[in-house]
A and B are shown apart, each in its own frame.
Chain A
């Protein structure tokens, strides 16, 4: 299995620009999570989906953040407009509900907003 695949791995963008992060979950998994990791706040859940439907987006910091899951094999996290405080590592993760709830993470997208 290829695991959770994220792109881009690294992105540097200017303040005000739109950023789109992409994720392909593990095939067959029915939960998808977007986390953000910073030194100050650690790993924070932004949003998660079940069977492509957003279940909880209470962790999305502002209206500038949006996430979609158009099908079972693809999700996007969009930031528009981006700000320097959005600089962080964004992780996508997936799980299959009936096998112990273990969440498997991708390698992350390292975002720097200058």
Chain B
């Protein structure tokens, strides 16, 4: 099955700077990836997704990059704001409709 890991458990950035959160996956056949944001006391919220036929997808202030060669994806947040402070998870399909989640990166935005 799929396994997902993150490179850094925590990340601190200055307000206004760009943030980059990384994720690695194991199954080269995985064809769909999702990034979630989890604020304290809340459930994970969908941020952005990407299919394996794409290398890049942009949303509002967020960009996801997918490198299938090294099985790596990243989430970039432009002009990081205090409201971006949260734990960020990447998720990849395991089998069927099941997803496996990475351990999460806690992003702290410094004033």
Contacts and interface: CB of A to CB of B under 8 A. Distances in A.
Contact of B101 (A42, A50, A102): A42
Contacts of A102: 34, 46, 49
A28 to B, nearest CB: 15
A83 interface: no
Interface string B96-107: 111111111000
Contacts of A43: 44, 89, 101
A106 B43 CA distance: 6
B101 A107 contact: no
A43 B91 CA distance: 10
Given A42-B104, A100-B32, A103-B34, A91 B96 contact: no
Interface residues of B, number: 23
Given A42-B103, A100-B32, A105 B98 contact: no
Contacts of B36: 105
A43 B45 CA distance: 13
Contact of B98 (A42, A56, A100): A56
Contact of B42 (A45, A50, A95, A107): A107
Given A42-B101, A97-B97, A103-B99, A108 B43 contact: yes
Contacts of A104: 46
A50 B97 contact: yes
A33 B96 CA distance: 12
A55 to B, nearest CB: 7
A100 B49 contact: yes
B111 to A, nearest CB: 27
Interface string A36-58: 00000011010010100001100
A107 B49 CA distance: 21
Interface of A: 4, 31, 33, 42-43, 45, 48, 50, 55-56, 91, 93, 95, 97, 100-108
Given A42-B103, A91-B44, A101-B97, 11 more contacts: A42-B102, A43-B44, A43-B89, A50-B97, A55-B96, A55-B97, A97-B97, A100-B49, A101-B32, A103-B91, A107-B43
